[in-house]
């Protein structure tokens, strides 16, 4: 029987926007976008090519002097106007978010609200960019610091949340006075095409934001382009290594927000029901395809069994199905390739001693046409096993017991990743003590995503990347520092 297929008549028209030019296609390869809810092609588009990247960069470079010189209050007003347009168009944006990667419909409104909040928050910084005076010694002098934009920022975002990721980068980059060349991922291009329509409607000068929809060759062309002054990449560690090697040829700075295998520590004194609900969100949020999702559950042995039973009972009540249905809480993963990878990791986890508490195999029946994998919980997982150490990027949780606070901290930090960490306890002293020892860029106590707001810094440690997006730290990521020293003796 299958599920509803997207209505392509509502899709945005322009897959490429360079200055005033709005093109239905680029000069690259033909690409058939597949909707993961049905496994069928929605629409074929011709992707951009490296030649299109050249034109986009040249256009951004030409637009930058005027954008940089535009008074901060004018940039602020444009960003505020864009935020209002995004909010007003949420009803049109929401089905596109579902159509591009299978995100559930009920999450779409939040994504538009979040995007608007980012432009509003960083728009508020645009008229407050200043420097500082530095006290010096060694002779009469006046020394001051200036914060300047880089110029043209290349933005490469992943398919699991293109609108969320792109606006997390674009808002501070634009507020700081940079121009942008944005690559929409070929697996999920529609929301960023729609965002470009909103940018045009808001009245941004032509060339300040340019869009090229493409695959790895387009990303590589951006990274290696001498006209791009900084790259901001959100995606996998494997791709990040290639990007860093490519960027080394031009010595351009690269900001990286990469994957994670975030630990969730549940102490015996926690509100167990709340901790189980938030623990389950690591499998449900973004259909399990979130870089900061808590997917490695460490549970104190005294409450290990009741916690597992709560997880299993809650998982049974999560409806996995048609992403366009309002009562669906989890949709498909992105592709057949992803489905096979997830299933393979789960099977090997079982072979290595994991007990399947729920899920564990591809969904069939009405779900058979799409790429659906159920919430899967593997209990008793060895912390050294593949599935406990590597990012699954699917709706899979692994659970391991611990006996002491020290052991919990050691297990949580024994990872190549360091993006997020979650601590569940009602002991305030323990909360601060454990949070202070987590080797992760963001630690949430008794939370599961509430901290992901524009006003706080977000980013990783270790193999989860470097640099921060959000807050004043996010603005500084897109500014260079100039120091001026004036001799007052002459």
H or E element in which residue 161 lies: none
Taking the C-alpha atoms of residue 93 and residue 255, their distance in angstroms, rounded to an integer, is 28
- The span from the CA of 171 to the CA of 180, in Å, is 10
Cα–Cα distance for residue pair 13/61, rounded to 1 Å: 25
Helix (H) or strand (E) run with residue 21 in it: strand 21-23
Please, is 442 exposed, middle or buried when counting C-beta atoms within 10 Å of its C-beta (0-12, 13-18, 19+)? buried
Number of CB atoms found within 10 A of residue 374's CB: 19
Beta strands in 150-293 (DSSP E): 152-156, 179-185, 209-214, 230-234, 254-257, 262-266
Distance CA 439, CA 25 (A): 44
| Contact partners, residue 12, CB within 8 Å, separation at least 6 | 96, 190, 193, 194, 196, 197
The residues that bridge with 214 in the sheet, in sequence order, are 185
Buried b (16+ CB within 10 A) or exposed e, 29-40: eebebbbbbbbe
Both tokens assigned to 412? 């949580």
Both tokens of residue 247? 């960027």
Q: What are the tokens at 216?
A: 């790895």
- Spatial distance between the Cα atoms of 196 and 201, rounded to a whole number of angstroms: 9
Residues in the chain: 490
Spatial contact of 265 and 438, defined as CB atoms under 8 Å apart: no
What is the set of active-site residues?
Answer: 257, 291
What backbone phi and psi angles, to 5 degrees, belong to 37?
Answer: -75, -25
Distance in angstroms (rounded) separating the CA atoms of residues 165 and 235: 10
Distance, first Cα to last Cα, the chain: 85
């Amino acid at each position: 029987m299958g599920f509803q297929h997207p209505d392509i008549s509502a899709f945005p028209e322009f897959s490429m926007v360079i200055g005033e030019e709005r093109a239905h296609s680029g000069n690259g390869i033909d690409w058939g976008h597949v909707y993961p809810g049905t496994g069928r092609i929605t629409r074929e588009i011709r992707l951009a090519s490296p030649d299109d990247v050249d034109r986009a960069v040249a256009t951004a470079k030409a637009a930058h002097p005027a954008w940089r010189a535009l008074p901060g209050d004018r940039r602020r007003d444009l960003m505020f106007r864009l935020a209002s347009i995004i909010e007003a168009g949420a009803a049109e944006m929401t089905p596109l978010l579902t159509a591009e990667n299978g995100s559930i419909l009920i999450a779409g409104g939040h994504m538009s609200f979040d995007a608007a909040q980012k432009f509003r928050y960083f728009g508020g910084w645009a008229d407050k960019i200043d420097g500082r005076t530095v006290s010096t010694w060694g002779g009469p002098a006046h020394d001051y610091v200036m914060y300047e934009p880089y110029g043209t920022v290349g933005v490469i975002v992943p398919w699991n949340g293109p609108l969320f990721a792109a606006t997390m980068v674009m808002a501070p980059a634009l507020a700081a006075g940079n121009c942008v060349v944005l690559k929409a991922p070929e697996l999920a291009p529609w929301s960023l095409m729609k965002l470009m329509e909103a940018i045009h409607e808001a009245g941004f000068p032509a060339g300040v934001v340019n869009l090229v929809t493409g695959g790895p060759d387009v990303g590589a062309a951006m990274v290696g382009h001498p006209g791009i002054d900084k790259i901001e990449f959100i995606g996998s560690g494997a791709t990040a290594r290639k990007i860093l090697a490519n960027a080394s040829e031009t010595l351009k700075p690269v900001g990286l927000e990469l994957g994670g295998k975030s630990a969730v520590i549940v102490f015996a004194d926690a509100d167990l029901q709340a901790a189980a609900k938030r623990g389950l969100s690591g499998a449900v949020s973004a259909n399990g395809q979130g870089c900061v999702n808590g997917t490695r559950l460490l549970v104190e042995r005294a409450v290990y069994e009741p916690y597992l039973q709560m997880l299993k009972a809650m998982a049974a009540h999560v409806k996995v199905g048609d992403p366009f249905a309002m009562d669906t809480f989890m949709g498909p993963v992105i592709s057949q390739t992803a489905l096979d990878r997830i299933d393979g990791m789960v099977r090997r986890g079982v072979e290595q001693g994991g007990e399947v508490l729920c899920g564990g195999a591809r969904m069939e029946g009405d779900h058979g046409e799409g790429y659906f994998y159920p919430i899967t919980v593997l209990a008793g997982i060895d912390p050294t096993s593949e599935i406990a150490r590597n990012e699954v990027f699917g709706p899979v949780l692994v659970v391991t017991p611990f006996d002491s606070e020290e052991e919990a901290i050691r297990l949580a930090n024994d990872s190549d990743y360091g993006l997020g960490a979650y601590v569940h306890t009602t002991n305030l002293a323990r909360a601060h003590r454990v949070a202070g020892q987590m080797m992760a860029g963001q630690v949430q106590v008794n939370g599961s995503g509430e901290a992901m707001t524009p006003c706080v810094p977000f980013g990783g440690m270790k193999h989860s990347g470097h640099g921060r997006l959000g807050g004043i730290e996010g603005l500084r990521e897109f500014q260079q520092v100039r120091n001026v020293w004036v001799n007052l003796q002459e």
